[in-house]
Structure 1
Amino acid sequence: MAHIALYRTWRPQSFQDMVGQKHIVQTLQNSLREGRYSHAYLFNGPRGTGKTTTAKILAKAVNCLNGPGIEPCNQCDACIRITEGAVMDVVEIDAASNRGVEEIRDIRDKVKYAPTEVRQKVYIIDEVHMLTTEAFNALLKTLEEPPAHVMFILATTEPHKLPATIISRCQRFDFRRVALEEQVERLREVCEDENIQADEDALAFIGRLSDGGMRDAISLLDQIIAFSGERITYEDVLSITGGMASDQFERLVIAVQNADVASALKQVDEFMQEGKSADKCMENLIYYFRDLLMVKMVPGSQAVTERILDVKRFAEVAQRFKTETLISMIDTLTYYQTEMKYSVQPQTLLEVALMKLCSGASASPQGIDPLAAASGSPERTDGVVGQLMNRIQRLEEQLAQVLKNGIVPSAGANASASASAPRSAPAAPVINKKTIEKLEGYLKGIEDPAFRTVAQQWSQIMGRVKELKITVHAWLVDGEPVSAHDGNVLVAFKSAMHRETTEKPANKQLIEQVMGELLGEPYRLLTIMMKDWKAAAEQRKPDDAPKEELQLVPEDEQPSGEIKEDWINEAIQLFGEDLVKIKED
């Protein structure tokens, strides 16, 4: 006989077999006992928590030949045939593949006919949120006033996608994630029945991986049994699921706290050698820091005891960090986890994230504020000095790169260099003559036809960048093209942070790729701060240069349509091509 998946074999066939949904089972049994069951139910909750199973049990309970009662007998012909799916009056519909209005109209036309095999006609519509708006409208009236012999049971994982008019016509039941203790108890029962020996910590880890879904937990157990045979250990679960033991993360976290970069990178290399993926390592590392934070802030909560096997050991590691440090580390890891989605080198990002954490740990050990540490002991002061020296070195490297490209340094670098100087009244930026000479080509490039083309196509360039990577668009939107010269496009930024992020090699490469596609020839991206660009333009003007005056010219006196075209291009650049509509008089 062919093997049947364990989650199908262990699918509950009565209310008493249900795991973790006592509030729903008790309500349904009371209504069945009193004969006050509704014509329409809405079962919603996470996957694998028993929504469709409960619907089938309810269909058997109302149609049981020995009932209706609080439990189906599972012995009569009606119960057996409903379990097998052989009763025409109990219809299970997958709304994901039957989502159109025609399928719902077919139901609406058939509900008026009395059942032929059982006393109650039951329609179970799974993933009901997938129905179209027209299908919901077709279902609405039937759902509100169905014939007495019809019951609707709607099941969904996303109730917020259902119209309020549908929800208001149903009795709603919210299925909860199954508690870890109940999951472990059911997994232990399955193992005993299947003659499988399993370690308690292995079953607990399976329960945590299933995230409260009983079906997922049993499916995972089935997979591990195929791997391990008659004996399941914690190491087997880690091996088959790609998980990592907490003691491995403990060594990694201690290395971070000690600013031991070599040890941390060695640990990452061991993960990779074991076949672990970088994104999975990052996810588990975030969970580990989250658990440390929970142990530190709410040590006695259920959230801690369910997720953590050895709370005492976690508490010892958590004592090494301050709360602010753990929160900061989680923020850093979360940022790099987001960047991983767009990176072709996720392992590199994981290593960079750990090096950054190590740098932060050495700069302010155990969460000590750098400013407070600077006035404390010499050991703490050394960490702060090292951090400041690293920042100065980075600023010097950025300044050298900027001067090499012939672009004036950003205001952020000047601000960092002069942070310790006494404050005075703000003065207009002053640009030296050498820099103006380097910018001369770009100052003249304002009149270049190439720059006109760039300005006209900029909204399309921004749109294409947004399609490829929305995070790059979020940084680039602060910039504005101000000139084009010698195959370079100069973009001025108001914010130093936006400019520096745009200048990152990966982001810069994407923007240059888009410019090459839309402009028809390769262009390099150069950046400058907006106020520095304006200062260079002002200083380049001779003192006796005539000042520009704004004059209004009637439309009939315009020499050509060029001015009108400039207005249109300016509007497109400001608001985007999608929002600008051109109407002819």
Structure 2
Amino acid sequence: MAHIALYRALRPQTFRDMVGQPHIVQTLQNAIREDRLSHAYLFSGPRGTGKTSTARLLAKAINCERGPTPEPCNECESCKRITAGSVMDVVEIDAASNRGVEEIRDIRDKVKYAPTEVRRKVYIIDEVHMLTTEAFNALLKTLEEPPAHVMFMLATTEPHRLPPTIISRCQRFEFRRVSLEEQAEWLQDICRKEGIRAEDEALVYISRLSDGGMRDALSLLDQISSFTGGQVTLHDAVEATGGLPSEQFGRLAAAVRDSDAAAVLREVDEMMRAGKSADKCLEQLMHYFRDLLLAQLAPQAAASAGRVAAPGELRAMAEGFPRERLFSIIDVLNRYQAEMKYAAHPQTMFEIALLKLCASDADAASADGAAQAASAPPRASAAAGGADLQRLQQQVAHLERRLEELQRGGGIASASAQAGGGAAGGLSARGRGSAPGAAPAKSLRSRVKLDPFLAARGAPNSLQALSKWPQVLQRVKEERVTVHAWLVDGEPVSYADDTVLVAFRNTIHRETTEKPANKQVIEGVLSALLGHPTQLATVTQKEWQDALAAGGGALREEAAAEELRLVPEDGGEPAGEPLVDEAVRLFGEELVVIKDE
């Protein structure tokens, strides 16, 4: 037996045939009995749940020659012709293809004429949300006050796209998805009437795939019965719909659970060789993990809403996954499903998504172990670290008091002379001997001693610490973008005594960076990246350049003296110079030239 267009042949002929919407059927039947019908109805809900069928049944019920009646007789001439769609007074319009204002104006011009064939003129507008704004405006007045012989029935899957003025002028009915049990029972009844031999598991599988839509379920049954010649089995249903058996989903989920990448690739290869599409497999796999999550969180809901596997299988598999792991898997699959739409090689994206699930599970396990190992030493050395922390807090408090005194008194020059007296004295003394044009010591307004930073400039550990400055800027930007905006004006110039010295071009930027809250953010990032507590010191570019100029002569004197010491008294080969040796090692002997200035 050929089952072509089974859905059209088995459309509901009476309200008794409507499945899954008893509250709507009862309300409409009571309105017919009590003669309290509205002039406009709005039927909204998911696709395939009976919105347009209900509108046709209501049109037959109010125009039946034996009525108006709660159940159309389907025997009179009016019922037969309305079922066949040959009554001119029952007009069904598809708003998706007739969405302009001209079509609605044509309706508005014709509603004033009385019906010629039946009792009441009925306009059924399907997918009404597709109308344009102008068309809604043209429909509004007619919908509000139509003639007594006219009734409007609007159907839509997206009621939120309708103007509130249209919704408020209609009686609204919300159609719900049909439950799994109701669908399976209804499909069994159809198979008995049509002589189709179907397994119960196959009908349940069809019901899961239809996602609560009766039209989709009937179309799938029509497709599968045509494919198998009236013998519907679960295997045939899976093959005909391009789906995957639940056992294969189970194997794939077990491979992800065990982080077995080789097993995952084998399963994907088997799916592709069977002619399955990667995007469809990913979608069904995401539904499978969603069902696993429901089996954990809401077992009763999982029994009625499962799409891919039986509830018993889902519960058994769900026991092997932590709840947080299922959330993470669904999130990853959903993200890759969105990216797969634009991928040139969907199969590769599918494989990468599954491999990422395997790798993330292993990484999470190793990260947990590392976190536990890292958390043990601080607890063991809490007593030893307490004294260091207290000492650091006292130093910070002392420095903050000094800073407040300087800000109140305005004595930056004198304070800098006290704080950097050693540096200034050393630099000025050597500067007077070898650099006549050097700036005097009192012009250096640095709040920090620059001697250690001048001495450490160019040292390997200093260069290594300063090389991490781009990472410091990025981490500071991630933590607080306003601090990054001030800090980016500075340039790290030296590193000594667990302190990074940063020279600023702008005084305002430097002072803002020195604020305790901002400085705390920067020092936290420095400590994290360098692996030990690290402080921040700041100067202006001018202060640093003056210090370099004042110290340059002294450095040249020391270099000359060192060069004299390199020549032994016996006239032998000079002793090795560490800086020269390092330069030769880095650039080669041919490129290194030693000049005596």
User: Which TM-score band applies after superposition, normalised by the shorter structure?
Assistant: 0.5 to 0.7
Match of 1:310 in 2: 310
Q: 2:53 aligns to what?
A: 53
How much is the aligned-residue C-alpha RMSD, in angstroms?
3.2
Distance 2:186 2:219 in 1: 13
- 1:198 alignment partner in structure 2: 198
Matched, 1:270 2:330: no
Once residues 64 and 338 of structure 1 are traced to their aligned partners in structure 2, the CA distance between those partners, rounded to angstroms, is 50
The answer to whether the 8 A contact 2:208-2:308 is kept is no
What per-residue deviation string (whole Å, max 9, x for no partner) do you get for residues 319-367 of structure 1?
Answer: 11211111112112222222212210111111112222112223345x9
- 1:81 Cα deviation (Å)? 0.9
2: CA distance, partners of 1:263 / 1:413: 43
Distance change in 2, residues 1:372/1:411 (3 Å): closer
Does 2:32 match 1:32?
Answer: yes
- Rounded to whole Å, the distance in 1 between the matches of 2:472 and 2:279 is 33
Q: Residues 512-562 of structure 1: CA distance to partner in whole angstroms, max 9, x if unpaired?
A: xxxxxxxxxxxxxxxxxxxxxxxxxx99xx959xxxxxxxxxxxxxxxxxx
Residue equivalent to 2:148: 148
Which letter does structure 2 place at the counterpart of 1:12? Answer: P
**Pick from 401, 406, 411: which aligns with 2:471?**
411
8 Å Cα contact 2:44/2:51 also seen in 1: yes
**Per-residue deviation at 1:197?**
1.1
Confirm whether residue 69 of structure 1 aligns to residue 69 of structure 2: yes
Shift of 1:288: 1.2
Change (3 A) 1:15 1:306: farther
Note the 1:41-440 alignment, pairs <5 A. Answer: 41-301=41-301, 306-307=306-307, 310-364=310-364, 369-371=368-370, 374=373, 411=471, 430=492
1:370 CA drift (Å)? 4.3
Deviations 1:489-513 (A, max 9, x none): xxxxxxxxxxxxxxxxxxxxxxxxx
Instruction: Output the TM-score relative to the length of structure 1.
Output: 0.64
CA, structure 1 residues 429+283, in 2 after alignment: closer, same or farther (shift >3 Å)?
Answer: farther
Query: What's the CA shift for 1:412?
Result: 8.1
SS at match of 1:301: helix
List per-residue Cα deviations over 1:264-320 (Å, max 9, x = no partner). 111110010001111111111111111111111222336656546532322222111
**1-structure distance, mates of 2:151, 2:272:** 54
Alpha-carbon distance in structure 1 between the residues aligned to 2:42 and 2:323: 42
Query: How many angstroms apart in 2 are the aligned matches of 1:414 and 1:162?
Result: 47
Which residue does 1:517 correspond to in 2?
none
**Cα distance in 2 between the residues matched to 1:413 and 1:199:** 65
User: 1:374 offset after TM fit, Å?
Assistant: 4.5
Contact 2:30 2:70 in 1 (8 A): yes
Q: Residues 364-387 of structure 1: CA distance to partner in whole angstroms, max 9, x if unpaired?
A: 45x99445664899xxxxxxxxxx
Give distance in 2, aligned partners of 1:198 and 1:191: 7
Give yes or no for contact 2:205–2:308 (8 Å, CA) kept in 1: no
Contact 1:363/1:370, CA 8 A, preserved across alignment: no
- Partner deviation per Cα, 1:192-230 (whole Å, 9 max, x = no partner): 222211111111111111111111111111111111112
Which residue of 2 is the match for residue 494 of structure 1? none
2:359 & 2:491 partners in 1: Cα distance?
34
Contact 2:43 2:173 in 1 (8 A): yes
**What code does the residue aligned with 2:311 have?**
V
Task: Give the 3-state SS of the residue equivalent to 2:57 in structure 1.
Answer: helix
Mapped contact 1:291–1:304 kept (Cα < 8 A): no
Matched positions, count = 402
* Partner Cα separation in structure 1 for residue 276 and residue 81 of structure 2: 46
Q: Aligned-pair distance for 1:75?
A: 0.6
Q: Which amino acid aligns with 1:328?
A: S
- Give me the whole-angstrom Cα distance separating, in 2, the residues matched to 1:431 and 1:321: 52
Report Cα offsets for 1:136-172 as digits up to 9, x if no partner.
Answer: 1111111111111111111111111111111111000
AA aligned to 2:301 is: S
Distance 1:376 1:256, change over 3 A: farther
CA distance in 2: counterparts of 1:288 and 1:430, whole angstroms: 54
State whether residues 199 and 234 of structure 1, in contact with CA within 8 Å, keep that contact through their aligned partners in structure 2: yes
The offset of 1:120, in angstroms, is 0.8
Tell me, yes or no, if the aligned pair for 2:295 and 2:302 is still in contact at 8 Å.
no
| Fraction of identical pairs, as percent | 62
CA gap of 1:351–1:166, structure 2 versus 1, over 3 A, is same
Cα distance, 1:69–1:134 mapped onto 2, change above 3 Å: same
Decide whether aligned partners of structure 1 residues 373 and 297 sit closer, same or farther in structure 2, where only a CA change above 3 A counts.
Answer: farther
Other-structure match for 1:21: 21
